[in-house]
Structure 1
Amino acid sequence: MIRPTKPEDAAALIAVANTIGFQPNELEDLAKMLADYLGGNTDSDPFWITDDDDEDGPVGVAYCEPERMTDQTWNLQLIAIRPDRQGQGRGGKLLCYVEETLKARGGRMLLVETLASFDRTRAFYAKCGYEEEACIRDFYTAGADKIVFRKVLNGH
C-alpha cells in the first residue's frame, strides 16, 4: 500500500536508503530532512511517500521537493525500494503515485537526477516516460557524471 509517510516509518525508511547504498553522511542528511518534514519544520512544501507492505512494514520510499524560484517544477530527491523487493513493479507504482500527487498539486514538471554509471536506474526512468535532459560531467567527483531526466506532468 502506497501512502503518505508517518512518524513511525522514519527508521525503516532510512534503513531502505541504507540498503541501496547511501553513505553515512547522506543518511544523516536524509534523517534530518525527514524529521523536519514530520515535525513541520520546513520552509518549502516537500512530501515523503511510503510503500508499506502489510506483512513486512515499509519497503520503499520517495521524497520530492519543489524547485525554488520555478513555476511548479519539482525534484525527486529519493526513490528507493528495498533490494529484496525490487523487480516487482513497486518502483514504477511508487513513481506513478508521486506523479499523481504532484499533478493534483498543480505540479508542472518533475526532474530526477542519477549517476551516469547507474545503467539500471537510467533504464527505469526511461521506461517510466522520462527523457534524458542533461549531463553534467564530473558533477559528483571526477569521472562521475550527473544525468538529469525530466517529465512534463501538466503542460502549459
Structure 2
Amino acid sequence: MIRPTKPEDAAALIAVASTIGFEPNELEALGKMLADYFGGNTDSDSFWLTDEDDKDGPVGVAYCEPERMTDQTWNLQLIAIHPNRQGQGRGRKLMRYVEETLKARGGRMLLVETLANLERTRTFYAKCGYEEEARIRDFYTAGADKIVFRKVLNAD
C-alpha cells in the first residue's frame, strides 16, 4: 500500500536507505530532511510517500519537491525499495503513484538523477518512460558523472 509518509515511518525509511547503500552522512541528512518536513520547516510543496507492506511495515520511500522558479517542474530526490522487495514491481508502482500525484497537482515535468555507474537504476528509469536528458561529467567526484532523466507529465 502506498500512502503519505507519517512521522513514525522515519526510522524504517532511514533503514531502507541504509540497505541500499546510503553513507552515514547521507543517512543523517535524510533524517534531518524528514524531521524538517514533519516539523513544518520547509517552504515548498514537497511530499514524501511510503510503500508499506502489511507484514513488514515500510519497505519503500519516495521524496519529491518542486524545482524553484519553474512552471511545475519537479525533482524526484529519492526513490528506494528495500532490496528484499526489489524486482516485484514495487518501484514502478511507487513511481507511477508519484507521477499521478504530480499530475493531480498540475505537475508538468519530472526530473530524476542518478550516478552514471548505476546501470540498474538507469534501466529502471528508462523502463518507466524516462529519457536521458543530460550528463554532467565528474559531478559527484572525478569520474562519477551525474545523469539526469526527464519525463513530461502534462504537456499543456
* Match in the other structure for 1:34: 34
* Match in the other structure for 1:47: 47
Deviation, structure 1 residue 147? 0.3
Alignment of 1:53-132 (within 5 A): 53-132=53-132
Alignment of 1:1-12 (within 5 A): 1-12=1-12
CA distance in 1, matches of 2:17, 2:129: 24
CA distance in 2, matches of 1:29, 1:107: 26
* Match in the other structure for 1:146: 146
Deviation, structure 1 residue 27? 0.9
1:123-146 CA distance string (max 9 Å, x none): 000000000000000000000000
Deviation, structure 1 residue 38? 1.3
CA distance in 1, matches of 2:35, 2:140: 26
1:31-68 CA distance string (max 9 Å, x none): 11111111221111110000000110000000000011
- Count matched residues: 156
Q: Which TM-score applies when normalising by structure 1?
A: 0.99
Moved beyond 4 Å, runs of 4+:
none
Q: Which amino acid aligns with 1:62?
A: A
Q: Which TM-score applies when normalising by structure 2?
A: 0.99
Q: Which runs of 5+ in 2 are unaligned?
A: none
Q: Which runs of 5+ in 1 are unaligned?
A: none
* Match in the other structure for 1:13: 13
RMSD value, Cα: 0.6
| Percent sequence identity over aligned pairs | 87
